[in-house]
């Protein structure tokens, strides 16, 4: 039987945010193992590459002058400046992937997410929460990548970020990674079933032929000539 519902080819734009240490990257990496038609957006930055970072893989590296030129060309969905360097989400690559029917994930700070919401309200906004603030602080310490001063700064920032939850569509608590991944995956599947993503409904089944014939002439209709499989 043919599918009666044709959905829009355009992929989903998905924004995932949450405090540092909540496990956003872990969830995204697990999602990519099963959601094959999904692309994680790569940001642009004006800072220099670090270590083994590669252009087009970790970031799109631009000079400060190039970045500012792109700002003037309205090339970013959102951008911000941190510690003297620019960071931004390029429109071009996101549009290319969405137009191909691929879902695009943006893992960005809340400040940038809210800017995108002002422009693209159809975006799916998901906030990842830690199971508790105590657990969040423990995770930040166990990462062993930041100084104590930086950890405290991230921890205080987390309280501010959590206050922005009402501006998101969904919230997922990352207590158990596999369960959190299942919840995010279920959210994305549900979004694809939204009525406003339907492009066309086909009513060409045998049952519909009977229905149309009945409407045209109830008295003369002979259903013996139509076979139902």
CA distance 199 to 88: 32
Is the pLDDT at 108 greater than 50, yes or no?
yes
Q: Which domains does the chain have, with CATH numbers?
A: 5-225 (3.40.50.300)
CA distance 197 to 194: 6
What confidence tens digit (pLDDT) does each residue in 152-204 have? 887 888 888 899 999 999 999 999 999 999 999 999 999 998 888 777 666 56
Among 86, 49, 92, 93, smallest CA distance to 73 is for: 92
CA distance 43 to 66: 14
Q: Where does the pLDDT of residue 111 fall: very low under 50, low under 70, confident under 90, or very high at 90 and above?
A: confident
Using alpha carbons, list the distances in angstroms from residue 189 to 83, 94, 143, 186. Answer: 38, 20, 32, 5
pTM flag (> 0.85): no
CA dihedral 184, 9, 124, 193 (to 10 degrees): -60
Which pLDDT score is estimated for 124?
A: 97
What confidence tens digit (pLDDT) does each residue in 49-61 have? 888 889 988 899 9
Using alpha carbons, list the distances in angstroms from residue 74 to 43, 90, 91, 150. Answer: 15, 9, 9, 33
CA distance 31 to 186: 11
Higher pLDDT, 150 or 144: 150
Q: Where are the beta strands (DSSP E) in the chain?
A: 5-7, 13-17, 38-40, 44-45, 60-61, 76-82, 85-90, 103-107, 124-129, 170-173, 198-201
What confidence tens digit (pLDDT) does each residue in 193-227 have? 888 877 766 656 666 666 666 666 555 555 555 55
What confidence tens digit (pLDDT) does each residue in 11-42 have? 999 999 998 889 999 999 999 999 989 999 99
Is the pLDDT at 113 greater than 80, yes or no?
yes
């Amino acid at each position: 039987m043919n599918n009666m519902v044709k959905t829009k080819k355009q992929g989903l734009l998905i924004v995932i945010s949450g405090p540092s240490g909540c496990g956003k990257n872990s969830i995204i990496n697990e999602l990519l193992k099963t959601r094959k038609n999904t692309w994680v957006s790569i940001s642009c930055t004006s800072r220099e590459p670090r270590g083994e970072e590669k252009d087009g893989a970790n970031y799109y590296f631009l000079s400060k002058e190039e970045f500012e030129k792109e700002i003037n060309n309205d090339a970013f969905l959102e951008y911000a400046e941190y510690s003297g360097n620019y960071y931004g989400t390029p429109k071009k690559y996101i549009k290319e992937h969405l137009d191909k029917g691929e879902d695009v994930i943006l893992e960005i700070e809340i400040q940038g997410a809210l800017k995108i919401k002002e422009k693209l309200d159809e975006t799916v906004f998901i906030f990842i929460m830690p199971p508790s603030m105590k657990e969040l602080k423990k995770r930040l310490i166990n990462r062993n990548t930041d100084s104590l001063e930086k950890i405290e700064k991230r921890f205080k920032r987390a309280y501010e970020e959590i206050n922005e939850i009402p501006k998101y569509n969904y919230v997922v608590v990352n207590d158990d990674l596999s369960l959190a991944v299942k919840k995010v995956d279920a959210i994305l599947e549900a979004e694809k079933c939204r009525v406003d993503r339907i492009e066309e409904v086909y009513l060409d089944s045998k049952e519909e032929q009977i229905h149309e014939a009945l409407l045209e002439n109830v008295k003369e209709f002979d259903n013996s000539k139509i076979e139902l499989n």
